[in-house]
Each structure stands twice: as C-alpha cells, then as structure tokens.
Amino acid sequence: MREILPVLSGWWSAGSPFGLATVVAVSRSAPRDPGASMAVGPGDEVVGSVSGGCVEGAVLELAQEALADGRARLETFGYSDEDAFAVGLTCGGEITVLVRAVTPELDPAFGAVAASVAAGRPVTTATVTDGPVARAAVLAVWPDEVGGTLGAPGLDAAVTADARGELALGATGVRHYGPHGERREDAVSVFLHSFAPPPRMLVFGAIDYAAAVARIGDFLGYRVTVCDARPVFATPRRFPPGTEVVVDWPHRYLSRTDTDERTVICVLTHDPKFDVPLLQEALRRPAAYIGAMGSRRTHDERREHLVRAGLGGRELARLRSPVGLDLGARTPEEVAVSVAAEIVALRWGGSGAPLTDTSGAVHPPSPSEDSAPPKV
C-alpha cells in the first residue's frame, strides 16, 4: 500500500473514485503479506499487486464492480487441484482480499491517512471485513486522534485501543469483536493496517562490514544510520545513498536517540572503548535486535566488562554475539547476509535451519490477532 499511495493521493485530489483491493488474510505459501494492495483508477489504470500476477485479472473485475455499485466484496482465492492454472494461486497458498470503492463519502479520512503516511506520521486504518455492521467501514487511528467510524461507539472504542497497540509494534492483521466492541466475541472482523514509519537500523563502526550491513538494511526496509567517532571513516561516500552518517561517540549518540521495539542495533566497532559503553546503553533500552561483532574471545572479554559495569543476566541475554547466523561467511557482504538472516529469523521465529531439513509451512504465520510479533 505504501508504494502506491502517491498515485492514490493523486486520484483522490483530482476527485476520481477508485477501487482498492487489499490482502487481509493469507495462509500457507501466499506470495504477498496482509496489507498488499492493488488499485483500479480512472480509465481502468491499475497500480500495485495482491498476488504477484495470479489473481489480478479477477480482482480487476471485482474492483470495477465495486466502483459501479459502491458495494464492498470479500473474496478468497486459493489453489485448485482440478485446474492449477485457473483463477487461483498455483503456489499452493490462499489469500483473502477485501475490494472496495474509495470516495469521499465512503472513506472521508483517506486523504488525511495518505498525507500522514507521506509525512512519516504513524497511523492505523481499521476496516470492517465481515460481520453484522457495514462492510468496508473505515476508522483511522492516530496516536492522538481518530477519524471516521465503524458504526458503533463501543466498537470504535475497542478498535481504537487495539489499533494503537498494533501501531506501536508496526503490526498488521485481523481482530475480532462483538457488534459493540465486546472482546470475547467474534461476530465482527476488522482488518488493522498499521502505517508506522520505517524501523531504524543503527550501525556503529564505520568499517567495510558496516557498509555491507547498511546496504542490506536499506534493502530490508530499514532507515539506516551509521555512527562512528572517527571522521576519517564516517564519510557519506563510503556508504549507500540515503544512509545517514553521524560523527559522534557511539554511546553518546545512542543516549539521545529514540529507539523502539522494532529498532535494530548492530555494534561493529570491535573496540572495547567504543562498544562496552555503547552496549551498556543499548541493552537497557527498547530494541528488537542488538548484535555485536567479534570473536568468541572478544565476546567473553566484552561480557566480563559488561558484568562489571552492572548489567544483569536478563540484559545480557538480549545480546546476539558473535553477531549473525553460522553461514560460514567471510566477506563483508556475506557477513551482512548472516546478520540479516539472524534479524529476520528472530523477527518471525524462524529456526535458521535449511528448509530442506524442516517440514510444515515454508512461511511462518503472520502475527495473529491474539499475539504480538516475537520480541528479541
């Protein structure tokens, strides 16, 4: 959705209605995650994708129908044993798609939501997908305000509270309620789509490994900052375009930088005078991942310094050191892949084992309405 919002904003500003299809649920090896969107605008112009090509033709027809009558549709597409090349997902997965028309009357908060996403202001949209209330009713939830309604004050209140919780985690998924927001009922299904600013990756130590980690961090969607106290190394030309480069003592920079449960911290300084005070600060603040480069001997010595500095077992258990998964990596680029693999595995609860040696679903399930993403 984030990628196609500039086009949608243009249609909205021009007063042109458009059809919007959004993946609200997936199972098994579905090609796109919840939140993936496709839109059909003036002249049947299509932007975005919900399946990578498997069902776009059928979704186009549904969007045209929704634009014609203003009625939202909820359709599930899956693999067909009888005809794998019929409308369906030949990868064997299944997706559920909500298709609705977007107009000022049907979704009055859309313009404000699009503007917030463009400005990096966090917002969650809550859209009814099923139940005894109006399908496709939308409630927009910001940290300090709301817009729109799902049709019942109690439902609005319950969804607003949950939407703000999901927004703090950057999570997206379906939750269930009673018609008036009852928590233990499941008559109403609501899709919560969080648009939080990109998570941050803080890389400390402006070395060749940092440049490789910055590149893969940018590829994974992080807003990357590289920090080093040595100006001769911390120069923008050594790092990918778009990387923020800061010259400062690492622990001092981190002490005045906000982090949250999605932040990734990679300590590549490999020097006790830098990494010990930095890790003292990092291990006492919110973060999804804290990894430190070094040999096992370096790790043992660093741990002793941290213990003497007063860090306890719970804090030290958060440290991933030596950093990365055991891939046999040698070059900076290979090490960056091993670090990224560890971050992804911990984020989704992956084992890090070869898929050849595992069984069951290839893709781990997305966070459900009853559980938050794994914290690491």
* Tens-digit pLDDT profile for residues 157-215: 999 999 998 887 778 899 999 999 998 899 999 999 999 877 899 999 999 999 999 99
Q: Is the pTM of this model over 0.75?
A: no
Element (H, E) at 38: strand 37-40
The first and second tokens of residue 275, run together, are 């990494």
Q: How confident is the model at residue 364 (pLDDT cuts 50, 70, 90)?
A: low
Cβ–Cβ under 8 Å, residues 63 and 19: yes
Element (H, E) at 204: strand 200-204
Cα distances (angstroms) measured from residue 248 to each of 14, 36, 204, 252, 274:
46, 39, 10, 7, 11
Residues 303-322, mean pLDDT to the nearest whole number: 95
Cβ–Cβ under 8 Å, residues 137 and 150: yes
In sequence order, the β-bridge partners of residue 77 are 95
